[in-house]
Amino acid sequence: MKIGFIGLGNMGSHMARNLAAAGHDVTGYDMSPVRVPGVPLANTAADAAEGAEVVITMLPNGEILRQVSEQIQPAMKAGACHLDCSTVDVDSARAVAESASDRGLLAMDAPVSGGTGGADAGTLTFMAGGPEEAFALVSPLFEIMGQKAVHCGGAGNGQAAKICNNMILGVTMIATCEAFALADQLGLDRQAMFDVVSTSSGYSWSMNAYCPAPGVGPKSPADNDYTPGFAAALMLKDLRLSQLAAQSSGAETPMGSAAEALYSRFVEEEGGGDKDFSAMLPRFSRLNGA
């Protein structure tokens, strides 16, 4: 398959490399000078998109996605698919899909979960929104870049699934960190806390698979001085997207709003943006005087 790949950063470079290694004809473009094995670079985004059956974008935000889509979609051939794997606001995803449809193109928003490690290993999870025809066309590419792809419905629903999932993750991580900090204040050993909660009604992914307490549970970023597997700054981005969607749709999300406020303080006022999002635990411990 002839593929254009726009956005060869920490995620996109691995994804494009894996597609090329699988035998696809991939042409890339990025604003920064990059080198990706097996992926020649075009001079412009439009050049990378020209003649491609699928054009994949992996971009920082919705505003940039809208701008890039206006460059690449006119260069794409009729029936080609614009596959956006960025994490952006739902409104931008739907606007880009509508503009693609108006031009006789297919479109699919498919944000990912799995981080740079998953992008490198080809084990990402894709949450896809768009028509069945588009999902069928790009499914073989999902199988190369990831281990799972879920078709969530129409345009924008991939983004909706991503931000709803990560709102849950942000809220449960804060609750888990609060509970460990409270346990410390009450003199409860962290291992004992984990042994009880991980097999009781407090069970969660944040506790059982990604425990924020160093030396407790399976190995996690907490055991590496909170070097990010998923940075707090990225969690803040996703929480803000969830609250933007909540405001746009009229949904009440008080816990999501509280999580956004806490991560905003942690990232923007307390310098925690380059730490893992589970570094909320030492933050609470510090505030508690531990």
Distance, in Å, from the CA atom of 278 to the CA atom of 45, rounded to the nearest integer, reads 36
Give the pTM. Answer: 0.91
Active site residues: 162
What residues make up the domain containing 77? 2-154
What's the rounded mean pLDDT across residues 105-109?
98
* pLDDT beyond 70 at 43: yes
Report pLDDT for 46: 97
Tokens representing 103 are: 């031009």
User: What CATH number corresponds to the domain at position 108?
Assistant: 3.40.50.720
Mean pLDDT of the residues in the chain: 96
Whether residue 236 is found in the same domain as residue 140? no
Whether residue 143 is found in the same domain as residue 172? no
| pLDDT single digits (tens) 60-75 | 999 999 999 999 999 9
Q: 128, 154, 180: which is the final residue of a domain?
A: 154
Whether residue 67 is found in the same domain as residue 90? yes
115 confidence band (pLDDT: 50, 70, 90): confident
* pLDDT beyond 90 at 288: no
Whether residue 203 is found in the same domain as residue 279? yes
* pLDDT beyond 90 at 27: yes
Distance, in Å, from the CA atom of 181 to the CA atom of 278, rounded to the nearest integer, reads 12
User: What CATH number corresponds to the domain at position 278?
Assistant: 1.10.1040.10
Q: 154, 188, 222: which is the final residue of a domain?
A: 154
Distance, in Å, from the CA atom of 242 to the CA atom of 245, rounded to the nearest integer, reads 5
Whether residue 124 is found in the same domain as residue 260? no
* pLDDT beyond 90 at 130: yes
Report pLDDT for 117: 87
| pLDDT single digits (tens) 225-257 | 999 989 999 999 999 999 999 999 999 999 999
Q: 132, 154, 176: which is the final residue of a domain?
A: 154
Q: Residue 117, exposed/middle/buried by CB under 10 A (0-12, 13-18, 19+)? A: exposed
Distance, in Å, from the CA atom of 281 to the CA atom of 159, rounded to the nearest integer, reads 28
